[in-house]
Amino acid sequence: MNNQDFDRYAPPSTSFEEISRSIEDDGYLGEPQAVGMGRAMAWLREAWGLFKQRPGKWMGAVLLIGIINFALALPPFGIGMLLQPLAMTFLPAGIAYASQGVEQRGDFNIGDIFLTGFWKSGKSLLGAGLFGLMLTMLYGVLMVILFGNDAMQAYIYGHEGVPSAMRILTLGFAIIYWALNFLTPTLIILQDEKLFRAISLSLKGFIRNIGGAFWCSLLMFLAFLGVIFSGAVLTGFLGSLAPALGKAALVVLAIAVLACLPVLFILPYAVYRDLFFERE
C-alpha cells in the first residue's frame, strides 16, 4: 500500500485527463479496436436497426440534406464547391448525434441533424471541414500539374480521354480522404475530441480494420446495385403489363433507394460504437 491509498489528500499519480478517460461513464475507450472483417455485416445491421426505429424521419432528413446540397451548388464562381465540403462535415456530425438519440431514447429531432453541429463543437467541426477542403484543393492542384487542365475538365464533366493513371490516383485519394474523415465528425461531436486527434483516431480505425472497411464498402455497393437492378427489372416488367403498375413500381424503387441512403449516413455511428467501445 502506498501513501495515496490511505491519504485522501495526496495528489493523483496520473493526470486528470487520463483518469477521466479511464472512467468514462459511457465506456469510451479513446482508441479504436481491431474487430475483424466479420464485423462489417454487423455494422450494416446496426445502422439498419437505427434506421428502422424512425424510418420516416430519417428519409425526410435525407431529402432535406439533398435539397441543401443542391442549394449550395447553385452559387456561381465556385462558391458552392467551397461550401459543400463544410456542410458535409456538420451534417454527418448531426446525424451521429441523432443516431445516439435513437439508440438511447428511441427518437431524435430533425434539429439534431441540422443545428447541433453549429452550437456543439462548432469550431472543431469547421476545422474538419476546412481540412477536407484543403485536401480536395491539393488534390485538384496535383492533378492539374500531373495531367493538365484539359484532362481535369474531361474528368469533371465525364468526357472521354481521361488517363487511366488519373483514375487510379483519384481512387487512391478518395480512400485516403475517406480514412481521414469517415469518423472525424462523429468523434468530435460525441466525444469532444480535438480536431487532429479525431483525424488521427479515424485513420487508426481505418488502418486497424482495413479489411472490414473494404468489405463493408463492397456490401453497400452490392446492396445499392441489387436494389436498383431489381427495381428496374420489376418496373419494366410491370410497366409492360400496365403503365400504372410501372409507375407504382418506380415509386417503390425511389422509396427503396431513399431508405438505403440513411443507412449509409448512419453507418459511421455504428462503426464508431463498435470500434471505440467494449462489446458486451
pLDDT band at 72 (very low <50, low <70, confident <90, very high): confident
- When mean pLDDT is compared across 12-21, 77-86, 132-141, 180-189, the lowest value belongs to 12-21
Q: Does residue 202 or residue 256 have the better pLDDT?
A: 202
DSSP 277: B
pLDDT of 224:
87
> Residue 265 CA to chain centroid, in angstroms?
5
- The pLDDT confidence band at residue 25, using thresholds 50, 70 and 90, is low
Percent of residues, the chain, with pLDDT higher than 90: 52
Q: pLDDT for 53-62, tens place per residue? A: 999 999 999 9
What mean pLDDT do residues 270-277 have? 96
Tell me which residue has cell 481521414.
180
At residue 221, what is the residue type? F
Between 102 and 243, name the one with better pLDDT: 102
Q: How many residues does the chain have?
A: 280
Cell of 22: 479511464
Global pTM?
Answer: 0.84
pLDDT at 77: 61
Residue pointed to by grid coordinates 487511366: 164
Average pLDDT, the chain: 85
- Among the residue ranges 8-12, 151-155, 177-181, the one predicted with the least confidence is 8-12
The predicted pLDDT at position 275 comes to 96
More confident residue, 228 or 43: 43
Do residues 182 and 212 touch, judged by C-beta distance below 8 A?
no
Q: What is the pLDDT of residue 78?
A: 63
127-170 pLDDT, tens per residue?
999 999 999 889 989 988 988 888 888 777 777 778 888 889 99
The pLDDT assigned to 193 comes to 95
